[in-house]
Amino acid sequence: MANKGLFASAVAKLLPQSALVPDAVNREAAPAYVYGPEAKLAQLAATGTLADSFYATAEQHLAEALEAARGCDPAFVAKAAVYARQVGAMKDMPALLAAYLTVAEPDLAVRVFGRVVDTGRMLRSYVQILRSGQVGRTSLGSRPKRLVTQWLERASIRDLLAAATGTSPSLADIVRMVHPKPSDAARRAFYGWLIGKPYDLAALPAEIAAFEAWKLEPSGPLPPVPFEWLTARPLTAEQWGELAGRMGWQALRINLNTLARNGAFGVAGVTETVAGRLADPVALTKARVLPYQLLVALRSVGEDVPLAVQAALETALEASLAKVPEVAGNVVVCPDVSGSMSSPATGYRKGASSTVRCIDVAALVAAAMLRTNRHARVLPFEVGVVKVALDPNARLAVNAAKLAAIGGGGTNVSAALGVLNKERAAVDLVVIVSDNESWVDARRSGATATIQEWERLKRRNPNAKLVCVDIQPHGTTQAAGRADILNVGGFSDAVFETVARFAEGQTRDWVELVNETEV
């Protein structure tokens, strides 16, 4: 067999000069194409993690995010922060970018604050990042302090109660930092109660008063306070069952095993209530549920969680992907099932790593595309393409589980394209879902193997398009973006919409989507 390294250059001569020379190396020290600052920031904002991942530490991710922000106009950073929060439902990254703007462009920081810091949790993250020194300051400063104070002044008592759940910093810590001036007796009493100062018992908000009374008599009615305040104390199975109908949708998803462990599903009607809430399409939309979050729940439920509840999660997963579009023509989906894809999709977090791995997300994307596009081909790859039998009519979770069970081997992003070329297949759209850290197919010169294989395919299928979905953006790609190649990052349903638009001829990438965001 001919030496591929020697004869690759002959093919490379046929490629456009702009595609010939990779301008970076990836985490595996293999040739790659680097994203510009805006493209990198847009991808990080849409799906980036600030936790340890397979290829980088949390510190590296943070440094790279800030480096990308510094390379962009502050106006773009502001749009990325808003997009990440309002469209991507991200938490750490929009808080980081909003905090960065307090140094880079304080006026923009003011305009972005209210659209990013929309919950007590986001407020705590924002304050924590500012005080860490990572964005160039170790204290709030006058303008951020004023923004935080205004948030406290405008928040409802309900919002303040929710914000009072959590630490590092706690809401009490923040109140001590900014010294808000209470607008009425109830808020003054609440602040006093919160930070351990004297307060007027008669002026306490009704929810707090009820909570204090319940602590004295726990057998009484549960007070209308965040469920976390109550679960820190001994509860009966009936009280756990009541909480199952009261906690928010996301909290319910996360606490199914806790409810089972404490006997809640043994209480009459609780199983039906929980199953109904989980599968409620209105609740799904309101909670901004991402498909991978439902995959987390499905993978995490224990045997004690009733089958009806587990079935409701599957129904919710199907519903969450109802918008996956049908794409005309011959569609090929290529999920990466290599060893590096076994890392948690949102990174390693001590004591809180997601049970969903990158391979699970890739499998979910492939299974979803197959479910809507019943004639699509699925070509999983690692060193080479792996054969697996999938039923396009099977439930989404079944096919996703089959793909996710493969796992292992090195990363060869060009493998599926090579198979398509060997078959001389007719192709209209190829979707590669990977972490982009290809190294098995590394070339010593010329374009990456992915580009070379893609050019071969294009000569037979001149109208074909390639979408590279990057599960964990690290700043490089195996196929630089151009009219027929789109790089996107993420694992929300926005990815499917972006793929469909691109297939139809709309070439908006993550940068353009961020730029359309109003600040």
DSSP letter string over 311-342?
A: HHHHHHHHHHTTTPPP--S-EEEEEB-SGGGG
Average pLDDT of span 344-361: 67
Beta strands in 353-417 (DSSP E): 377-378
Q: Indicate if 312 and 371 belong to the same structural domain.
A: no
Q: Pick from 284, 303, 320: which residue ends a domain? A: 320
- Whether 195 and 81 map to the same domain: the answer is yes
175 and 195 in contact (C-beta within 8 Å)? yes
Q: What confidence score (pLDDT) does residue 506 get?
A: 75
Counting the structural domains of the chain, the total is 3
Residue 445 has pLDDT above 50, yes or no: yes
Would you tell me the crossing angle of helices 237-244 and 270-278 to the nearest 10 degrees?
Answer: 20
Can you give the residue range of the structural domain that contains 449? 325-515
The counts of H helices and E strands in the chain are 26, 8
Q: Calculate the average pLDDT of the chain.
A: 86
Residue 361 near residue 403 (C-beta atoms within 8 A): no
Give yes or no: residues 356 and 396 share one domain: yes
Q: How far apart are the first and last CA of the chain?
A: 58
Q: Which residues contact 380 (CB under 8 A, 6 or more apart)?
A: 334, 335, 336, 337, 366, 386, 388, 403, 406
pLDDT digits 0-9 by tens, 46-104: 666 565 555 567 787 788 889 989 999 999 999 999 988 988 778 888 999 999 999 99
Alpha helices in 71-198 (DSSP H): 74-86, 92-104, 106-116, 120-131, 142-154, 157-163, 171-178, 185-195
Angle between helices 92-104 and 74-86 in degrees, nearest 10: 160
- Per-residue pLDDT tens over the stretch 480-515: 888 899 888 766 667 777 788 888 887 666 687 788
- 403 with 416, same domain: the answer is yes
CA dist., res. 444 & res. 448, Å (int): 9
User: DSSP code of 52?
Assistant: B
pTM over 0.85: no
Structure tokens at 463: 């109208």
Sign of CA dihedral 189, 192, 198, 201: positive
d(CA 372, CA 380): 18
Whether 272 maps to a domain, the answer reads yes
Could you tell me if residue 63 is inside a domain? no
Render pLDDT for 308-318 as a digit per residue (tens, 0 to 9): 999 999 899 88
Same domain membership, residue 340 and residue 316: no
Specify whether 409 is located in the same domain as 450.
yes
At 6, the pLDDT band (50, 70, 90 cuts) reads: very low
84, 87, 142 from 81: Cα distances, Å? 5, 10, 21
Separation of CA 121 from chain center: 16
